[in-house]
Structure 1
Amino acid sequence: MDAYWPVPDLLAHLAGRWRVERSVRDLAGGDEGHFTGTTVFAPRDGGGLLHEESGTFTWRGTARPATRTLLFLPGPAPGRADVRFADGRPFHELDLTTGRYVADHPCAADSYRGEFTVRDAGHWRTVWRVGGPAKDLVLRTDYAREG
């Protein structure tokens, strides 16, 4: 059985800079990709954190710059957050008070299911399983605190 690291204050825990390693596997076609970069969780005006990810994504032998921005807004309790896309659309809720959480996100005809696990104060992981008529993917992301 895996041991998880409970997070009593989610936004305080995530604040700062994280090294990111992500693998992307296309289960239908067999292709594999890899992202390496950094995620910074910085305070945002109005509360919560601005999640800014940047790095290099390599797919089918071609490396390209890649970025992603999300909003982590305060949830109903300190261990919870409301995760939104950069434009404010809802993405998923997140509750790491037990150190583990499963989130669902419907996207058109595809469905996304994410499992979040916290190993210790400096390491956490997300595993997204994406399925539907357009996609059959597994995205595994490991985060390690910098500094």
Structure 2
Amino acid sequence: MADEVWPVSDALAFLAGRWRVERTVRDLADDLTGTFTGTTDFTAEGEGLLHVESGTFEWRGTARPAERTLRYLPSPEVPGAAVVHFADGRFFHGLDLRSGHHVADHPCSADLYRGEFSAYDPDRWRTVWRVKGPAKDLLLTTDYRRDYRK
């Protein structure tokens, strides 16, 4: 996807709703590829959004249900930006899409997660996470398309 990025003045307003999700997970060290397909719902919760992702993760020929929950809150410092927390309340990363693109780092033990977020239009965005560490060498690419189906 070589699309031009699309500036987002309010990350939470942009994300609200249901999105179809397609993710490719590449283990670069072992030359393995897996996929996740499903949906992500961003629903109102307090001042922010509850992010609930659910679907099927296929890895090494085995498909299994997968899900995760995150919380997106308004950034206290940057109007229109958000801060993302894990379900247990720990900080994950910031998200400022005012230019249409954002890079965030998240250190996790000995690993570094570097995420790139790009918005393309009101109905499409992408994340690319590069994970490097002593035991990890991963590339996770996720495409989101707004799901208008009820």
For normalisation by structure 1, the TM-score amounts to 0.97
1:67 aligns with 2:67: yes
* Partner in structure 2 of residue 130 of structure 1: 131
Secondary structure in 2 matching 1:4: coil
* Partner in structure 1 of residue 58 of structure 2: 58
* Partner in structure 1 of residue 32 of structure 2: 31
In structure 2, stretches of 5+ residues that fail to align are none
Identity of aligned residues (%): 67
How big is the shift at 1:78? 3.6
Output the amino acid matched with 1:113.
R
CA-atom RMSD in angstroms: 1.0
Secondary structure in 1 matching 2:12: helix
Secondary structure in 2 matching 1:3: coil
Q: How does 1:1-147 map to 2 (within 5 A)?
A: 3-44=4-45, 46-75=46-75, 76-147=77-148
Deviations 1:50-94 (A, max 9, x none): 000000000000000000000001113342001000000000001
Deviations 1:1-39 (A, max 9, x none): 852100001101100000000000000001110000000
Deviations 1:93-143 (A, max 9, x none): 010000000000000000000000011110000000000002100000000
Output the amino acid matched with 1:121.
P
Tell me the distance in 1 between the aligned counterparts of 2:9 and 2:79.
Answer: 6
In structure 1, stretches of 5+ residues that fail to align are none
Secondary structure in 1 matching 2:65: strand
